[in-house]
Amino acid sequence: MRKESEIERRIMSVFRGEHPDRVPWMPRIEHWYNVNRALGTLPEELQRLSLIDIYRELNAAMRLYIIGDWVFGFLQPPYGSDVMPTPFKTISGASWMGGAGEGREEMEIKREKVEDEIITEYKTPLGALRSVDRSSEHGRAWYIVEYPAKTVEDLEILQYILERTRYGFDEDAFGKLDQWLGGQGMIWICALRSPLQRLFIEYMGVERTVISLRRHKDKVEEIMETIKRVDNQCYDVIKKSPMKVVNLADNLDCRIVSPDLFRKYYLPYYQERCDELHEAGKYVITHADGYVKTLLPTFREAGLDGVEAVTFKPVGDVTVEEVKQAFGDELILVDGIPYWHFLPEVSMDEFEQITKKVIETFSDRLILAISDELPPLGEIRKMHRVPMIIEEASHA
């Protein structure tokens, strides 16, 4: 097994509850890089550098996310043509999180690129589903514009597909990815979202799911049970993989997931997943990039090690103090500097102020980064400033 790099050791010491020599700085800049590269607007001094070299230049650790059958920031065909080994594989069926495996005898899966859209059709003996993804942000982001499940009746077809979905892990591909990273960060994995969140974000859309949950509760709860059961296989793959940090990747927002919904459908699920992943020696975080105020009290109960992407005011709905109070010394904050502060509209003074405050408040329980990514219009001079602020804080 490869020896931990200094960067990795610093990050892992936060998870282990140790005292890191300095706060780890692990920003996600892939989207900024890709959009500016596509537009030809990368800062001159960075134009000749590869993404990983830019991380080195910025004195920052890369958080390389495996997200479904993708590596975050790298688009595989048919969505794009970046070449990157993809360790996590949807072997058959479909997860809808960036992966559709080959159809097996019982179903046919066809993906077609039509102008700026990818149309996916799933033909099964029970009927067909169709989903449409559309490209945005200069071809560097994709959004679902047509959800596969349009009616509650479609859930039966979805269930059929899910029950025939299998996952695998390619150790060789992981090795190549790790080699590419070269110790300048860590490979983490975004696991499949929790069942209700999958319906919200990937299968039905928020409005249709909310209405279906109210009007056809039994059917919706049944599909949620199926999702959970089928996902066990995905988690078995993750548990056996070399990745140390698992992100439940739920993109939580309390405006959509109320505390009642969270307690009923997410909390027991989180507790169960956290327990099994902890037993397998993994650390578990979730992604909460929306409003989170009313969910804050539940995060500790969930059994998580940390929460990623919590966004402070004015973009989010919480203050630094409120989050610290809710997290105590138990939970790690991953990220912290609101993306808004990287925009040219925000002064360097204001930027430094929030960065210092986050470092001082969360101290050893912090993996500092941007909540949740550097926006394409983000200022690179501020990225250069962060390691200096960290350095100053480590001597304070």
Instruction: Enumerate binding residues for another protein (CB under 8 A).
Output: 35, 134, 136-137, 143, 145, 206-207, 210-211, 214-215, 254-258, 261, 294, 314-315, 339-340, 343, 345, 375-377
State the nearest-atom distance from the C-beta of 325 to another protein, in Å: 18
Q: Is the peptide bond preceding residue 242 cis, with omega within 30 degrees of 0?
A: no
Of 147 and 167, nearer to another protein (C-beta) is 147
- Distance, CA of 34 to CA of 42 (rounded, Å): 9
State the nearest-atom distance from the C-beta of 256 to another protein, in Å: 5
Of 169 and 339, nearer to another protein (C-beta) is 339
State the nearest-atom distance from the C-beta of 220 to another protein, in Å: 13
Of 56 and 313, nearer to another protein (C-beta) is 313
Question: Mind giving me the DSSP string for 193-209?
Answer: PPHHHHIIIIIS-HHHH
Long-range contact pairs involving 212-220 (C-beta distance under 8 Å, separation at least 24):
212/152, 212/155, 215/152, 216/152, 219/152, 219/155, 220/152, 220/155
292 alpha carbon, distance to own chain's centre = 16
Q: Is 363 exposed, middle or buried (0-12, 13-18, 19+ CB in 10 A)?
A: middle
State the nearest-atom distance from the C-beta of 25 to another protein, in Å: 21
Longest distance between any two alpha carbons in the chain, whole Å: 66
State the nearest-atom distance from the C-beta of 150 to another protein, in Å: 16
Q: Write down the residue that tokens 């539940």 correspond to.
A: 298
Q: By three-state DSSP, how is residue 122 classified?
A: strand
The closest of 325, 179, 200, 217 to 254, measured between CA atoms, is 200
Of 169 and 340, nearer to another protein (C-beta) is 340
Of 84 and 256, nearer to another protein (C-beta) is 256
Identity of the amino acid at 253:
D
State the nearest-atom distance from the C-beta of 345 to another protein, in Å: 8
Of 125 and 314, nearer to another protein (C-beta) is 314
